[in-house]
Chain A
Amino acid sequence: MTSNKIETRIALALALPAVSGLLIFNYYPIVQSFIYSFFDLDFTTDWLNAPFIGLQNYAAVMASDQFWYTFLFTTGFTIVAVTLDISLGMAFALATFYVPKSMRGILRAFIIVPWAIPKVIQASMWRWMLNSDVGPIGDLLVRIGLVDEPPLFLAERVLAMGSIVAAYTWKGASIAAFFLMGGLALIPGEVRESAIVDGASSIRRFFSITLPIVMPTVFVALLYRSQDALRVFDVVYGLTGGGPGTSTDTLSSFAYNAYFRFAQFGRASTYAVVTFILIGAVGTFYISRVRRNFSFKE
């Protein structure tokens, strides 16, 4: 046996456990979800004994207003939330380089706090913050005279949508910030300092010097954050539960209820598959862009 063959065998043996894991808990379930989506599966997951209905689930889903509403809400949410994530994250990241060294540690510690809290707990915290009777946000808005009555943040459709974006961005901005700090750290110190010292033109310098250098990082951050936003579940489930009605349901939260509350496995799988395709499209775009950057490529 040549040494090359031996090396291949060793490598496959080393990769095998991980690959098996991926096959069992990632790839097999995806295939199974596709299969579910071709069957009429109400109150059962026994697809072998269920009627095969081809693309009828897809046809029914495509014909329903609910699907298109949820689809548009999910993508619209993604665009708004990711824009906010990246802008705020960039502001935070720039701030950590702007403040003197003595404050840098505490600022980073602040920024990491939202990141450390599990998303669904964060959602319940925001539910309490946005409580229309005794929530501090509504109360402060009344006190500074912006509104007469505390707004019904979670009961009115548009406000509920905004609330989800706010709660999502609370954590998202922190994630984006740490991501972008990595990019900003690559900028030579002199360039950054010269941009900082001259206060008047610092905005122009940001767009003409800093941004072009960190653009690759921003690009990657955009894609990661959009993939995360497209599959958003925890924040919706914990904050509004999709309500009022189903007006703030995303593809994931709608599918989850269809699965585990209404036991419509076929229809729910259709939503899940659509979510997967959407995220896959973004991912394919991403892989084709950054493939050359894998550091351990030959």
Chain B
Amino acid sequence: MNRKQREIRHKILSIIIVAVIGTWCLAPLAWIFVTSIKPLGTEYRIPVEYWPDQPTLENYRTVLGERFRIQRSILNSVIVSSGSVIGTLTLATLSAYAIARLKFKYRFHTLYMMQIAGMIPPIVVIAPTFVMMRSLGLLRTYWAMILPNMVYALPLSSFLIASYFANVPFELEDAAKIDGAGTFRTIFRIVLPIAAPGIFSAGVLAFLGSWGEFMLANTVSIGSAAVETVPVAIQSLSRAFNLQWAWVAAGTMVTITPILIAVLIFQRVVVTGLSAGGVK
């Protein structure tokens, strides 16, 4: 086989591979899209229609309309995830600085405490957390999701940020101090900018983590549409309207499109974080 033939063969094989993996990854999404543009009622028609006779956007109008206002769940998710991320990044940056750059007695205790916390299954904390939120009167509020999610993202975030902090040469910090910069100035001007990619990547992953979180959100929102996040809203929609799947499909499309776009935009950051930290 000469070089040219080999190249052609490589190209054809590559296209097949991309097509197969693409089908596996996109088929469920494609099917939801097709369902979402079927006129209500025709999604149960037999034989199965792989493309509707009369595509319609009516289902989108319904789920965005007065009855469902599915977009409210997107707003709720944005509030919960943003709140959590702000908290996570603040706590994680402070503790990561201590872990990575300061020598102190309880350094490894702190590190282990973080790592072990990252392995705790949600089911073992859910009931006491629910009871805690009930006693604090925080059920059916954003806080009941923001506060725990902020902590759930800490282990991965502080690990990511700490590994960036660890790469800042100590000489650089010393040099800044010799030049007369104070501790805070040194941290803000020298250390934080170098760790910025780590902080950003931790932020994106923490945001996505709390965006997808279901068990806690489902438990503390107890059916209150005013605070339901996207996963909870779609889960209850799909259970309640099992016979109107065209609606469910439209709701799903509306709620996952923003996050899909965001993930594709931040792809590089997400991938770095994923391969560095190992993610749920």
Choose the segment among A51-59, A76-84, A125-133, A156-164 that binds chain B (4+ C-beta atoms closer than 8 Å): A125-133
On whether A22 and B230 interact (CB within 8 A), knowing A99-B17, A128-B31, A259-B126, the answer reads: no
Q: State A8–B104 Cα separation when bound (angstroms).
A: 5
**Which A residues are in CB contact (< 8 Å) with B126?**
29, 256, 259, 272
- Judge whether A29 and B128 touch: CB under 8 Å: yes
Residues of chain A within 8 A of B234, CB atoms compared: 118, 120-121, 124
Residue from the set A18, A109, A113 with the largest chain B CB neighbour count within 10 Å: A18
Q: Is A252 at the interface (CB under 8 A from chain B)?
A: yes
Cross-chain contact B43 with A134 (CB below 8 angstroms): yes
- Is the pair A115, B263 in contact by a Cβ cutoff of 8 Å? yes
- For chain B, the bracket of interface size reads 35 or more
- Chain B nearest CB: distance from A60 CB in Å? 18
Given contacts A174-B25, A181-B275, contact A17 B94 (CB under 8 A): yes
**Interface majority SS on B: helix, strand, loop or mixed?**
helix
Stretch at the interface among B60-68, B171-179, B254-262: B254-262
In the complex, A91→B35 CA distance in Å? 30
Contact B35 A128 (CB under 8 A): yes
Q: What A residues does B123 contact at CB under 8 A?
A: 231, 233, 251-252, 255-256, 271-272, 275
Picked from A28, A106, A112, A279, the residue with its CB within 8 Å of the CB of B263 is: A112
Q: Are B267 and A109 in contact (CB under 8 A)?
A: yes
- A contact residues around B215 at 8 Å (CB): 233-234, 256
A195 within 8 A of B: no
Asked whether, in the complex, the Cβ of B121 is within 8 Å of the Cβ of A224, the reply is no
Give the interface size class of chain A.
35 or more
Q: How far is the CB of B218 from chain A (nearest CB, A)?
A: 8
**Closest A residue to B131 using CB positions:** A45
**In the complex, which of the residues B97, B106, B124, B255 has the most CB atoms of chain A within 10 Å of its own CB atom?**
B124
Of A30-38, A64-72, A204-212, which binds chain B?
Answer: A30-38
Contacts of A129 in B (CB 8 A): 27-28, 31
CB of A128 within 8 A of CB of B32, answer yes
Helix, strand, loop or mixed for chain A's interface?
A: helix
Which residues on A sit within 8 Å (CB–CB) of B271? 108, 112, 178, 181
Residues of B within 8 A of A27 (CB): 113, 117
**How distant is the Cα of A26 from the Cα of B154 in the complex, in angstroms?**
11
Cβ proximity bits B128-143 to A, threshold 8 Å, 1 near / 0 not: 1111100000000000
- The reply to whether A29 and B212 form a contact with Cβ atoms under 8 Å apart is no
Which of A15, A36, A269 contacts B99 (CB under 8 A)?
A15
Partner of A17, one of B91, B208, B235: B91
B127 CB → nearest A CB, Å: 5
**Do residues A18 and B91 form an inter-chain contact, with CB atoms below 8 A?**
yes
Contacts of B263 on A, CB cut-off 8 Å?
112, 115-116
For A61, the chain B residues whose CB sits under 8 A away are none
Closest residue of chain B to A25 (Cβ to Cβ) is B151
The residue in chain A whose Cβ has the minimal distance to the Cβ of B238 is A124
Chain B hits for A32, CB < 8 A: 127-128, 131
Indicate whether A179 reaches chain B with its CB closer than 8 angstroms.
yes
CB-defined contacts of A234 to chain B, threshold 8 Å: 214-215, 231
B48 touches A170 (CB 8 A): no
Q: Hey, which chain B residues are within 8 Å of A280, CB to CB?
A: 119
Q: Provide a sorted-by-A list of 29 A–B residue pairs whose CB atoms are within 8 angstroms.
A: A4-B103, A8-B104, A12-B104, A14-B94, A14-B102, A15-B98, A18-B114, A18-B158, A21-B91, A22-B154, A28-B128, A29-B132, A32-B128, A33-B125, A98-B13, A103-B15, A110-B26, A120-B231, A121-B231, A124-B235, A124-B248, A124-B252, A128-B31, A128-B238, A136-B27, A237-B235, A275-B123, A280-B119, A287-B115
Top 7 closest A-B pairs, CB basis?
A: A182-B275, A296-B166, A231-B121, A118-B212, A29-B125, A18-B95, A32-B128
